[in-house]
Chains A and B, each alone.
Chain A
Amino acid sequence: MIRPVLVRREVPVRGGQPLAFAVGLLVALLLGAVLLLVAGDSPMEVYRRMLSASFGDLEAFSVTLNRAIPLALAGLAVAIAATMGLWNIGAEGQILFGATTAAGIAQIGEGWSGPVLILAMIVGGSIGGALWALGPAAAKAYIGVNEIITTLMLNEIAIRLIRYLINGPWKDPEGYGFVQAPALPEQSFLPNLFQRTHVGLLIAIAVLAVIGLMVSRSSWGYELRVAGSSGATATYAGISLKRKILTVLVLSGTVAGLAGGIELTGNATRLTETVSNGYGFAGIIVAALALMRPSGVAAVAVLFGAVQVGGQSIKAIGVSDAVSTVLQALILFGVIAAGVLIVYRIEMAEPAGHKARSTSRVRSA
């Protein structure tokens, strides 16, 4: 009769997220070790390799940071919307359309100087992301259409748009029969800051800092938090919900689009449909692990980037693709599960009927 139930803690465990990371990681590594042994790999060897590939030296860390940039921006995009209780599941599509816009600008500005072209592509990417979010934002604000559905569906449309462009109008004439977009002009490549980390790092840090401050300290962010807590309370306080929904979803799209622009100028040689590499979806997990707080997104993104980079590196020592993917997933599951225990605690429930709890139960006979 006694069974465990999750009960929400009144105050989350202090220093909870780092603790959740540590515990979740540990559990996942233990489970992963079993998996690796079964698959015939040496856990110690694999883990050492993962660690050295992601944090081993400055070069390895620079690769991890490079990964963290789009993850952090996508996570920020999701977190801003979530502050107001909105779900932007479409960061992936906004990144893709942002990258597409940037690629379009690169075609127009082939003859422009490097800094001008790069700036135009990054700004253009942001605008592209904003435009991609505008439809769902307006539909939500004015007629109440669920933004989860609309933003999600636009992801598919963005991928197909790129496919169409690559197969049609933007097909590379010098592609020797390969279906691909034309190569980006050399001067559009974002310069590196150090090792393999590009200048996008500085942009990401600046955007995270400014938006983080806006959300937590500005009156704009205050209105956002009130609206996220209760829409009726926001109306009572004289806050226009429509305008808030519109601005927050468009800003969310702008940030995701920025990630798309940076990714294209920083890491790509041409527009492909894999330019986003799933960052938009990973951003949802990043935001969730950061408890939807913009301030926590950066740290989570770096760790998430490290898991990805480390997970891919072990393929080089013969660990199968499947095992590598499962290992990455285990780590994320572990951290997420531990994160739940920061906010909830496990209690043993008494048999039904003794508590007023049964009052809330829907009749089930």
Chain B
Amino acid sequence: MDAAPLAVELKGIWKRFPGVVANAGTELTVKRGSIHAVLGENGAGKSTLMNVLAGVYRPEEGEVRLFGERVVFANPADALAAGVGMVHQEFRLVPTFTVAENVVLGAAERVLNMGAVERRVAELAEQFSLDVDPQRHIWQLSMGERQRVEILKALWRDAEILILDEPTAVLTPNEADELGLVIRRMANDGRSVIFISHKLHEVKQYCDEATVLRGGKTVAASMAVVDLTPQQLAELMVGEATDAALRPEPRQAGDQLLTVQDLCALNNRNLEALSNISLSVHGGEIVGIAGVAGNGQRELSDVIAGLRESTSGTVKLFGEDITTATPRQRFRAGLSYIPEDRVGVGLAPQLSVTDNAILRSYREHTRGPLIAVDRAKAFCADVVDSFKVRTGSLDQRIAGLSGGNLQRLLVGRELTAKPSVIVASQPTRGLDVQGVKAIQELLIDARNEGLGVLMVSEDLDELLAISDRIIVMHGGRIAAEYGGADANRSAIGLAMAGETP
């Protein structure tokens, strides 16, 4: 193996986005014929780095070498022509086309003999044990089968290097094991596979080497997986950064306000997303929910807010059962919600600042059947002033507002209702440093005023900084719970990755 030439060398890659440095001199080398894991928390720069390799982004600095030769890709087609194929998390398939048609789409001869194409697709599938019927239509296939079609697309184009971006996120455990066999066969065929994952046991199971990224930098490069324990990988992923001193003085928690008991719910694909979640939030505390994306956090906050049905279990507010209450009833009972998808759920992008400010309270600003525009505007002006939303006119569409101002408007609206409990899902994601600070301070102020705050975040530093308690979710369950004082980064990291500490 050691004598094999390097298939991929990424050297000193820099890539910045407005307000964010995604890659800060990131390094990655991948050997020929090996399966290489790229690990890191959300925002560590994995996806950006892979998009650089796949020709989606151009790095501002640094070089990409394939098999020793320097390459510059103008677009994904260039990368593909050079042998780099990528299977994105969101599949890019035409649902009404057959498997074979999708495989050859854009890479077919001018005259298409579908019979011959189907035979060749079937042969290729056979060669790598990819179990999929070339004649079936995409819409008929499971997620696992669709992923195999994406892999076939890359193989059809002779990809020597295949990037799989969190491939097991959409798979059942059995399908994941099958995928493991497929990529091993590809590696034995001399191809290189880059496997992006959060799941440490998969890395141990399927991969030869691992590179760990943190904050856009490579913190551990090409380590042999056999020598590593999950504990070590977890520590590398979450780091040992000193905890910020933002956290306010601990204080006596008040009454139990929100109680969740044995809650179960399904995700959008009707698979179990929450199993037997029980937790409580008291007045005057911030409870942080930690976890890698897709472990049920989103479903949990949606169920509490009434946007998703639970299959069993109860949600209580002030001891009153609100499990079947509508979102409006919950809000009126004192439960505010800052959804993860601000503009698609919490705000109406095509409407004005005023229209968005009154989203929760428009029924109170009416005169007969009509909205009392003067009162609505006064209410909006109040929210805008109190929460320092920077906007031109109140009649302006919110689409023109910056991310930070959108979030101030949303948080301001939710806090203006004087709730007792606020559920905040990823409230600072995507904001610039100032915006993050402003929103965190608002939540801390709310806590100091005696509100109960349940905050979901994928940023462990943030949770460590402002939470009184941290609950770690993994696979739809509560994996661990820590008090603010004894919260330990590496233990949390392990729990997030599904290893029992």
Q: Which residues of A contact B (CB under 8 A)?
A: 10, 213-214, 217-220, 222-223, 225-226, 228-230, 232-238, 352-353, 356, 358-359, 361-365
Contact = CB atoms under 8 A, between A and B. Distances in A.
Given A10-B400, A218-B370, A365 B76 contact: yes
Nearest to B153: A363
Nearest to B330: A238
B344 to A, nearest CB: 5
B355 A233 contact: no
B113 to A, nearest CB: 21
Interface string B352-385: 0001000110110010011101000000000000
Contacts of A230: 343-345, 348-349
B223 to A, nearest CB: 31
A365 B80 contact: yes
Nearest to B400: A10
B363 A219 contact: yes
A233 B343 CA distance: 8
A2 B165 CA distance: 34
Contacts of A234: 348
B75 A358 contact: yes
A233 B57 CA distance: 32
A238 B328 contact: yes
A363 B350 CA distance: 30
B344 A217 contact: no
Contacts of B362: 219, 222-223, 237
Contacts of B56: 358-359
Given A219-B362, A228-B350, A238 B76 contact: no
Given A230-B344, A230-B348, A362-B92, A235 B327 contact: yes
A358 B52 CA distance: 12
B57 A359 contact: yes
A217 B371 contact: yes
A230 to B, nearest CB: 5
B157 A233 contact: no
B307 interface: yes
A212 B351 CA distance: 17
A353 B76 CA distance: 10
Nearest to A232: B345
A352 B78 CA distance: 12
Contacts of B58: 353
A contact patch SS: helix
Nearest to B88: A363
Given A230-B344, A233-B359, A238-B331, A219 B80 contact: no
A363 B77 contact: yes
A238 B335 CA distance: 13
B115 interface: no
Given A219-B370, A219-B371, A358-B56, A233 B345 contact: yes
27 contacts: A214-B369, A217-B373, A219-B370, A222-B355, A223-B362, A225-B350, A225-B351, A226-B351, A226-B359, A230-B343, A232-B344, A232-B345, A233-B344, A233-B359, A235-B327, A236-B337, A236-B346, A237-B327, A237-B328, A237-B360, A352-B74, A353-B58, A353-B74, A359-B51, A359-B57, A364-B76, A364-B77
B373 A363 contact: no
Contact of A218 (B327, B329, B369): B369
Contact of B57 (A222, A356, A363, A365): A356
Would you list the 5 A-B pairs with minimal beta carbon distance, nearest first?
A238-B328, A229-B348, A353-B74, A365-B77, A229-B350
Interface in B184-242: none
B370 A217 contact: yes
Interface string B107-142: 100000000000000000000000000000000000
A234 B344 CA distance: 10
Nearest to B358: A222
Contact of B348 (A10, A226, A238, A352): A226
A235 to B, nearest CB: 6
Given A217-B373, A236-B327, A359-B57, A225 B348 contact: yes
Given A226-B359, A237-B360, 18 more contacts: A218-B369, A222-B371, A225-B351, A226-B351, A230-B344, A232-B307, A233-B347, A236-B337, A237-B327, A238-B327, A238-B328, A358-B76, A361-B76, A363-B77, A363-B92, A365-B80, A365-B106, A365-B107
Chain B interface extent, by class: 35 or more
Interface string B309-347: 000000000000000001111010000010101011111
Contacts of A223: 362
Contacts of A236: 305, 307, 327, 337, 339, 345-346, 359
Contacts of A363: 76-77, 80, 86, 92, 106
Contacts of A220: 369
Interface string B43-78: 000000001000011100000000000000011110
Contacts of B359: 226, 233, 236-237
Nearest to B332: A238
Most buried by A among B75, B348, B362, B363: B348
Contacts of B344: 230, 232-233
Interface string B164-183: 00000000000000000000
A147 B232 CA distance: 55
A250 B332 CA distance: 31
A84 to B, nearest CB: 12
A108 B349 CA distance: 51
B81 interface: yes
Given A218-B370, A226-B359, A364-B76, A233 B346 contact: yes
A343 to B, nearest CB: 13
A250 B339 CA distance: 32
A32 B426 CA distance: 58
A361 B339 contact: no
Contact of A226 (B57, B305, B355): B355
Contacts of A233: 344-348, 359
A146 to B, nearest CB: 15
Contacts of B348: 225-226, 229-230, 233-234
A192 to B, nearest CB: 34
B136 to A, nearest CB: 22
Interface string B392-436: 000000011000000000000000000000000000000000000
A222 B357 CA distance: 12
A218 B371 contact: yes
B355 A225 contact: yes
Nearest to A225: B351
A234 B328 CA distance: 11
A214 B366 CA distance: 13
A230 B345 CA distance: 7
A229 B351 contact: yes
B163 to A, nearest CB: 12
A361 B75 contact: yes
Contacts of B307: 232, 235-236
Contacts of A356: 57
Nearest to B350: A229
Nearest to A221: B371
A362 B363 CA distance: 44
Nearest to B368: A218
Contacts of A213: 370
Contacts of A217: 370-371, 373
Given A10-B400, A226-B348, A232-B341, A219 B327 contact: no
A51 B355 CA distance: 43
A363 B77 CA distance: 6
Contacts of A222: 355, 362, 371
A360 to B, nearest CB: 9
